[in-house]
Structure 1
Amino acid sequence: MTMRTDHSVGRLPSPQQSETDLNLDIWPKALSPLRHNPETEARIEEILLRMTPAQKIGQILQADIASITPEEVRAHHIGSVLNGGNSSPDGKMRASPSEWLALADAFWEASMHTDGPQIPIMWGTDAVHGHNNLAGATIFPHNINLGATRDADLVERIGSATAMEVRVTGMDWTFAPTLAVTRDDRWGRSYESYSECPNLVAELGAAMVRGLQGGANTSEFLNADHVIATAKHFIGDGGTQDGKDQGETIATEEELRDVHAAGYYTAIREGILSIMASFSSWKGQKMHGHEEFLTRLLKEHWGFDGLVVGDWNGHGQIPGTSTTNCPDALNAGLDMYMASDSWKGLHASLLQQLQKGVVNEDRLDDAVRRVLRLKFRARLFNQPKPSERKHAGDYALIGCQKHRALAAEAARKSAVLLKNAESTLPLSPGQNILVAGKAADDLSMLCGGWTLSWQGEGIRKSDYPQAETLLQGIKRLAEAYGGNVEYAPDGAYRESPDVAIYVFGEKPYAEFRGDLTTLDFKPGDRTDLQTIQKLKQSGIPVITVFLSGRPLWINPELNSSDAFIAAFLPGSQSGAIADLIFQDSNASHDFDFTAKLPFSWPEHADQYLLNHGDADYLPLFPYGFGLSLGDTCTLGRLHENSLATEPDHGTIFDHGAPQGSWQIVLTDSAGQSHWKGRSIASPAAELHIHPADLGQQENAIRACWNCTNTATLAFLHSPIDMSREANADFYLKVVLANAPNLISTTQMSVITHSGKVRIGNLLDMHRQEETELTLTVTIPLKKFGVAGADLTTLKGIELCNSEGGQIVVSYIGISTL
């Protein structure tokens, strides 16, 4: 049953029956092979008796390295740190391995030189496809690729290699594997899922746990070659409504048991030591505060005695709480808050709530025991500082040849051949070969999100000097066998080629930034298709390689290609895919396509919920489909009737990024700057914008003006006819807490084809909602017309602040929030 903390009186209410109660009789057991060590348990109790309440609370907090110093770790007895997707030593995204290791030493030294018991700190990192936050590391293909391999042994070896590279920089803990079972491919985290098939997720997830941690109850378990693994995100994150990240999971209890829990049974049986709570909710209750799942199912029914850790400030999404005031999560069963930048305020509030009885003292002690037990099992109490441990500082292991060969093997084994008309493949490498498409030589697109940064954009070749792009792999083979390669990203070749290889796909993204409203690839932008068609019409055989984090509707591209390869996100050794495309009679060995689709491929752009075993299962390519070079499979001409449209053009800005074809442009006295993510300034530095956290990581932007009359922040689009939606409302949500006196000085204008129309300042405009934190400006769209704006050619919304200052913008849209 669900227990809701009553903040006003500092006690727990009487138990009540809830619609979110679970029927545990229908859930099987998932017993861990790990057992308590009596000597360890006695040491845990001895340490617990010596700890003050403040020290206990410190142990259950995890802070981001960008928001805490070693001295603060010492003062507050913090139990763990992490590096978020965009956090690095001194803010240097390309920090060297030695800088990472030095910071690990600094945090460890702080934890071991403090008043009270000396409890070593743990460092967690999102090593989800290799040690991916580290420049120069081996970047393995994402989980969707590993699902296509069907190779548990390969996955286990990748886990072992990842653990080794993580150990080099002194870290102990990775937030992997993701055990989500994706049901709606519009979900922005689909590529973090092994498959839509629960059994495959369970098999490969267990293999990754073995690789990362070592075999349970063996001498390898969490020895110096391995790291703590984390099964995430518990539970149901792959089944959210409309594929919206962090949303409401649409599933019956039986579906949660049979589909979404599949990977957790096997992970627990492999001895997983950490499980991360999901951002998602079930029947309206957030998992971070869901006692039924975190305590009754996971800990009591399944007997899980490891650590339940939160996700990035996920506790603050529980209704009635905030990131710095949330006893609910602890009382529900969370053992460690991922209080990335909220740790200090949360420490103070939890201590106060413990004194008032709002926090259950026994529950706090249980959480601390679990933290200490994990540290003992990970052998941290017996280890010297990170730089003196085995493998630490052995920088030759980072991106080493052995690991690169493993990544190349995974890239080859995960590329799915969907079409091979007239046996176009394999090609002879001794031809004149045209390679086209920016993605062929773009590591960001080849590796995807969670690579060097959270969203994975802006990677340079120098960041991963041992990498081989697909273009480089093609050149390697052509040079070896007398061929010639011309690279023309736009397809405009100088000499007529014998064959063309076109590489295209999705730009990198992570989490909610990748959520889609349709499965149509790039609706409204057919540049790639036009290039492929032009090559085909010139009589050139076209082999197309498609990079994506999920299956997408690409019927026109399939029709225009002689051969089509779904490569997904193959990683830093993507050049190995060239080994599949080319064969030569003089080669010492040839490779063949062996990969099978881990997700069903849609025939229509609106086939969002398309999963093997569904009653109405009509995919273009079914789950498990994949050709080999010897297969004869004729793919007829496909329909090209996309049912998708530009994502409801009323969504202008959301989740920290412009939506669809909207763009952000900063203008000042010196010109314009176009925002492409991360922090940016206008040309004369009169306006700066930075990513901002608002309930989720970087789901808003902070606009900071200097004292100027010229700097503007504009959200722009090609002209849209909004006249038919004149009865709709315009919404703009800003954060009051960060701009208490600036709303009245921030002006908004509407930009149309005929010019700019000033609407007024934000404070004076009609307000739909005002809370302690946010102000939602709501304006009937027809008022834009009354003010003189031509709704038939709406081009953008502009903000300016003549007096200087800052506001945080979290949402801009039309019609609905």
Structure 2
Amino acid sequence: MSCSAAFAKNDITLWPKQKPAIEKNASLEADITRLINKMSLEQKVGQMVQAEITWVTPQDVKKYHLGSVLNGGGTFLHNDRNASVSDWVSFMDELYLASMDTSAGGLAIPVTYGIDAVHGNNKFIGATLYPHNIGLGAAHNPALIHKIGEATAKEVLLAGIDWTFAPTLAVARDDRWGRTYESYSEDSEIVALYSKEMIEGLQGKVNTPNFLDDDHIYSTAKHWVGDGGTYQGIDQGDNRETEKDLIKNHAAAYFPAIKAGVQSIMASHNMWNGLRLHGSKYLLTDVLKTRLGFDGFIVGDWNSHSKIPGCTNDSCPQAVNAGLDMFMVVEDWKAFIGNTIEQVENGIIPIERIDDAVRRILRVKIRSGLFNKGLPSKRKYANQKQLLGAPEHKAIARQAVRESLVLLKNNNNLLPLSPNSKVLVAGDGADNMSKQTGGWTINWTGEGNVKSDFPGGTSIFDGIEQVVNKAGGKAVLSPDGSFDEKPDVAIVVFGENPYAEWIGDLKSIAYQAHSHRDAKLIESLKSKGIKVVSVFLSGRPLWVNREINASDSFVAAWLPGSEGVGVADVLFTNKKGNIEYDFKGKLSFSWPKYASQVVLNRFDKPYDPLFAYGFGLTYKDNVNLGKLNTHNDFVFEVPTNTPYVIMQGRAKGDWNYQLQTEQETKDIQTPVGKIQGLSMIEADKEIQGDAKEFTWTGSNHASALISSTWYREDLSQYLINKSALTFDVRVEAYPEKTLNVQMGCGKSKCGSFDIAPILKEFKLSTWHKVSIDLLCFANKGVEFERSSAPFVLSSEGAAKVRVANVQFEPKAKETANIKCGE
């Protein structure tokens, strides 16, 4: 289908007609025209480029006249996640001075720096981290959103940074989507209300003296448009809604954003009815810029222009002509500049389109004061380190945590608890800052963060311990639920591990549908006669009927951020037994009754949730919830006979080899690799290089993984079709100790099975097949819904084995060497 054929079906009259939020200033526009007339084509195209910090230097900014620099979610200044505030300010100075250097014929046009400050200035260790948007949506408090925007602006400004890629205005319609937690609500009503407040908090109020003044930064509404409505919740997939529904569900929050004077809007990765947003002239130019009156600039998302048919990372005239103004071209920006210049010279891109893009970028830079504010280090908040995690900001975040909590069950009014009690705090989320802060925290996915990365922050257990100890009670942390002294009550904190974007996509919303690890923990405590309060950490509503059944009280805590103490504020009375904080949170997402309700939204017909949009108990309610159906009715489309190939000499797909000790992890990109105590070389089974040989020296514990630091895959369908992990193995030297097969659990390993006894039955230097029922791994806590390492070999003793043909083999469960029951 041609673009013109698709656009012929569109009806622009369905969209509201809006004027620009700021009346056109003739003097400012004349200044921009004079500056554009002085610019060479190279300088103009340079302004349209945003390069990533890993692949750009201040010298590059000067030489190529770059308009912007960013850092991605997973990258750090000078590759140092602990870079100080002063390091950041110094680098901002370097970029600024390079952009203003006219010694080689350049023009003094200040560079702008963009960062994903999406729940606070979340790249910075020590920053105040607010609940993710899904929690803020449950708070239903626009004034609080405004305060969060103001506080976030200050924590960004202290680093010399002037621009954030926030707020996210997605309306998540399918909870399988990995970015659901970035959405305030499944309904555009709250999102539209919040968009104005967050933008005014970040930028100041448009057409007033505080708009984009020294206390504010400029913001980005993202992602235009329809990102939360893709088919099956597939990130960057296809939104197949009609134009009317696209407007009602996904564009509605942009209308108040534009009226609030948002200065940049980010184009979305997704398609709308098969056409990429980055290449849609209709939606970028005809609708957004013309019909809706947006006069800022449109910035692209991470190399997303390359997804347009005929485009690459370094060449995309289609996106330029469609109306994209600034390209987040990341690494290949030099070639992109050269190709774009050539395309203008050859008439493929009109110079008028280039001039329009540059005009919009310069307009925002002038409005935001970059031409007048001078060196980043000389600005009002620069280097004010005391503002990073400032007490007044933490107080706002703590309030946000309290107001975001939604009480779903409180049988026999177990809550609130007396702080003068013996409280067992269990679950792997209780003292887990990585889990409670979620994705977009310090790094992209939020995985691997440890408590020391959150100075001044409080885990949920920290908060409980503070409240209980102060009242003379006793709080004991026991993630596995074990205890010496029987508690009066148990609080179990559990939920999703952190993720970001497509890594978080699910095929099913059934929580731990195969391992049931957390449900078993709660049930174990209940079997001992202990009352249980469950605190569920998640980036979306999930089907947790078994967990709810086992709990006396159940709280949806979402992803509360750095101030976990806010949870204890609500769960307990004060020392005198008085309620200081009741539950205020009300669901901004419908909660599923059945696992099959992957698409469940307010006003759907039929609409049969377990807990409806807007539901949330308070301490005034006296409601007992009966037993819920725990039959998983979600039907997978499962491959019947096709194995999932993990390794045939080389790791397949997006997996790669890693070698690991307790002190070090090495990514191995070559056929051979070595780490202390373990080496890997290429070997043969049927053909050259179709196997690997692993040698453990026995000097220390070491592991060989087929894994990824960034990739995750939902492999749960292979449990459904009764698969086994199978691999061919040839023993060259019998293991002296255990040789364990494991799988990944986030950044760690779990589900260990010793195959040394099996291998010792094999004749040396001959090939044999080993298989392990996947259910065995699930029973030991492996979550196949987001696999991080489908195959791991570990030992602390000497051994030498060759391995080939690692795969998940359907219907191999019954013949496995190691098999397990349900």
TM-score, with length taken from structure 2: 0.82
1:124 is aligned to: 114
CA offset digits 1:284-303 (Å, max 9, x no partner):
11000000000000111111
Contact 1:443-1:461 at 8 Å conserved across structures:
yes
1:458 aligns with 2:432: no
1:51 aligns with 2:43: no
Change (3 A) 1:674 1:376: closer
Contact 2:116-2:166 at 8 Å conserved across structures:
yes
Q: Secondary structure at the match of 2:515?
A: coil
1:494 is aligned to: 484
1:83 corresponds to which of 62, 71, 75 = 71
1:752 aligns with 2:765: no
Distance in 1, Cα, partners of 2:562 & 2:663: 34
Tell me which amino acid in the other structure corresponds to 1:752: T
Contact 2:680-2:694 at 8 Å conserved across structures:
no
1:269 aligns with 2:259: yes
Change (3 A) 1:671 1:49: closer
1:68 aligns with 2:56: yes
Q: Secondary structure at the match of 1:66?
A: helix
Change (3 A) 1:526 1:17: closer
Change (3 A) 1:452 1:681: farther
Alpha-carbon shift at residue 33 of structure 1 (Å): 2.1
Distance in 2, Cα, partners of 1:388 & 1:405: 28
Contact 2:725-2:771 at 8 Å conserved across structures:
no
CA offset digits 1:321-379 (Å, max 9, x no partner):
10011111111000000111121111111111111111111000000000000001101
Distance in 2, Cα, partners of 1:40 & 1:498: 68
1:618 is aligned to: 608
2:142 corresponds to which of 152, 155, 159 = 152
Distance in 1, Cα, partners of 2:225 & 2:717: 42
Q: Secondary structure at the match of 2:493?
A: strand
Distance in 2, Cα, partners of 1:626 & 1:101: 44
1:336 aligns with 2:319: no
Alpha-carbon shift at residue 681 of structure 1 (Å): 7.8
Alpha-carbon shift at residue 666 of structure 1 (Å): 3.8
Q: Secondary structure at the match of 2:202?
A: helix
The within-5 A match list for 1:434-445 is 434-445=424-435
Contact 1:2-1:21 at 8 Å conserved across structures:
no
**Structure 1 unmatched ranges of 5 or more:** 4-15, 689-704, 729-749, 758-786, 801-810
1:528 aligns with 2:528: no
Alpha-carbon shift at residue 523 of structure 1 (Å): 2.2
CA offset digits 1:423-461 (Å, max 9, x no partner):
000010001110011211111111000000000112222
Contact 1:188-1:513 at 8 Å conserved across structures:
yes
Contact 2:725-2:807 at 8 Å conserved across structures:
no
1:350 aligns with 2:324: no
Distance in 2, Cα, partners of 1:724 & 1:485: 40
Contact 1:666-1:673 at 8 Å conserved across structures:
no
Distance in 1, Cα, partners of 2:563 & 2:23: 40
Contact 1:445-1:507 at 8 Å conserved across structures:
yes
2:545 is aligned to: 555
Distance in 2, Cα, partners of 1:610 & 1:653: 35
Tell me which amino acid in the other structure corresponds to 1:26: L
Tell me which amino acid in the other structure corresponds to 1:573: E
Change (3 A) 1:20 1:454: farther
Contact 2:266-2:300 at 8 Å conserved across structures:
yes
2:764 is aligned to: none
2:365 is aligned to: 375
> RMSD of the TM alignment (CA)?
3.6
Contact 1:228-1:273 at 8 Å conserved across structures:
yes
1:359 is aligned to: 349
Q: Secondary structure at the match of 1:558?
A: helix
Contact 1:671-1:682 at 8 Å conserved across structures:
no
1:161 aligns with 2:135: no
Q: Secondary structure at the match of 1:438?
A: coil
CA offset digits 1:168-194 (Å, max 9, x no partner):
000010000111111000000000000
Distance in 2, Cα, partners of 1:543 & 1:583: 15
Q: Secondary structure at the match of 2:429?
A: helix
Alpha-carbon shift at residue 665 of structure 1 (Å): 6.3
The within-5 A match list for 1:685-700 is none
CA offset digits 1:12-49 (Å, max 9, x no partner):
xxxx4435652011111233321221111111011101
Contact 1:429-1:481 at 8 Å conserved across structures:
yes
The within-5 A match list for 1:237-248 is 237-248=227-238
Distance in 1, Cα, partners of 2:110 & 2:464: 48
Alpha-carbon shift at residue 754 of structure 1 (Å): 6.5
Q: Secondary structure at the match of 2:407?
A: strand
Distance in 1, Cα, partners of 2:501 & 2:717: 31
Change (3 A) 1:687 1:133: farther
CA offset digits 1:124-152 (Å, max 9, x no partner):
00000000001110000000011001000
1:421 is aligned to: 411
1:568 is aligned to: 558
Q: Between the two proteins, what is the percent identity of the paired residues?
A: 43
Change (3 A) 1:64 1:687: farther
Change (3 A) 1:591 1:19: same
The within-5 A match list for 1:536-555 is 536-555=526-545
Alpha-carbon shift at residue 677 of structure 1 (Å): 13
1:94 is aligned to: 82
Q: Secondary structure at the match of 1:504?
A: strand
Alpha-carbon shift at residue 789 of structure 1 (Å): 6.5
Contact 1:518-1:647 at 8 Å conserved across structures:
no
The within-5 A match list for 1:699-710 is 710=694
Distance in 1, Cα, partners of 2:659 & 2:156: 43
Alpha-carbon shift at residue 84 of structure 1 (Å): 0.6
Alpha-carbon shift at residue 645 of structure 1 (Å): 7.5
The within-5 A match list for 1:651-800 is 666=658, 683-684=675-676, 710=694, 714=706, 752=726, 755=729
Change (3 A) 1:793 1:525: closer
Q: Secondary structure at the match of 1:595?
A: coil
CA offset digits 1:260-315 (Å, max 9, x no partner):
11110110111111000000001211000000000000111111111100000111
Q: Secondary structure at the match of 1:566?
A: strand
Alpha-carbon shift at residue 102 of structure 1 (Å): 1.1
Contact 1:517-1:647 at 8 Å conserved across structures:
no
Change (3 A) 1:296 1:754: closer
Change (3 A) 1:273 1:388: same
Contact 2:117-2:152 at 8 Å conserved across structures:
yes
TM-score, with length taken from structure 1: 0.82
Tell me which amino acid in the other structure corresponds to 1:63: A
2:202 is aligned to: 212
CA offset digits 1:761-784 (Å, max 9, x no partner):
xxxxxxxxxxxxxxxxxxxxxxxx
Distance in 2, Cα, partners of 1:799 & 1:490: 24
Distance in 2, Cα, partners of 1:172 & 1:723: 48
Contact 1:306-1:373 at 8 Å conserved across structures:
yes
**Structure 2 unmatched ranges of 5 or more:** 682-688, 696-703, 732-766, 778-788, 794-805, 811-822
Contact 1:34-1:271 at 8 Å conserved across structures:
yes
2:589 corresponds to which of 589, 599, 608 = 599
1:511 is aligned to: 501
Distance in 2, Cα, partners of 1:309 & 1:721: 38
Alpha-carbon shift at residue 683 of structure 1 (Å): 3.2
Distance in 2, Cα, partners of 1:129 & 1:676: 31
Alpha-carbon shift at residue 814 of structure 1 (Å): 9.2
Q: Secondary structure at the match of 2:70?
A: strand
2:26 is aligned to: 38
Distance in 2, Cα, partners of 1:32 & 1:792: 63
Tell me which amino acid in the other structure corresponds to 1:53: L
1:447 aligns with 2:437: yes
The within-5 A match list for 1:245-264 is 245-264=235-254
1:233 is aligned to: 223
Q: Secondary structure at the match of 1:25?
A: helix
Change (3 A) 1:678 1:212: farther
Contact 1:753-1:793 at 8 Å conserved across structures:
no
